[in-house]
Amino acid sequence: MAFWPLSDFGIAAWLEHAFLKEFHVTGTLVIVFFALLWLSWTRSHREDQARSRAALRALLTVITPSCSFWPSRYTKLVKQASVRANDCIVLPFDMVIQDVLEGVIEFRDPLIDIVDLTGGIQVNGWNICVHLEWKLWVDAMELWLSHKVSQKMFPAIH
């Protein structure tokens, strides 16, 4: 038997044998890689869904939707919070106030929850708080300044 495999099988047979053998190994590795990738994705997807449900349950102890479904903007906020490591659900203040005024959501205990949300409420391991955007600070400052200017210009009215 010769050292060179072409002498026994011929060039075509050797190439076919080498290709099939390499394809078999490569194909198996690719299949194993994608199987592991799929398993890790489904595990992380299930964990993300469980964290999202836990975050929604925590949010539900403070606010509740007025219909049977959560508005999509709240589910998006909860999904964003569920992938963060700090377990914090941040609600934009203007969105919360607008939704309360429109009847989209309601507070479970309005007198306590509205005040507590500014500092953050700890519920089932989740910190729920509201965030004031800079636009609201600027609008409040503008309103305050315009009130002060009108007091100085027209003191008899006030």
pLDDT tens across 60-81, in order? 988 999 988 889 999 999 888 8
Domain membership of residue 147 as a residue range? 8-153
Q: What is the pLDDT of residues 96-154, one digit of tens each?
A: 889 999 999 998 888 777 778 878 888 888 998 888 788 877 887 888 888 877 777 66
Q: Is residue 38 predicted with pLDDT exceeding 50?
A: yes
Q: Is residue 158 part of a domain?
A: no
pTM for this predicted structure = 0.57
Q: Which of 23, 21, 27 is nearest to 9 (CA)?
A: 21
Q: Which of 44, 35, 38, 51 is nearest to 85 (CA)?
A: 51
Q: Is residue 3 part of a domain?
A: no
Q: Is residue 143 part of a domain?
A: yes
The total of structural domains in the chain comes to 1
Q: Is residue 2 part of a domain?
A: no
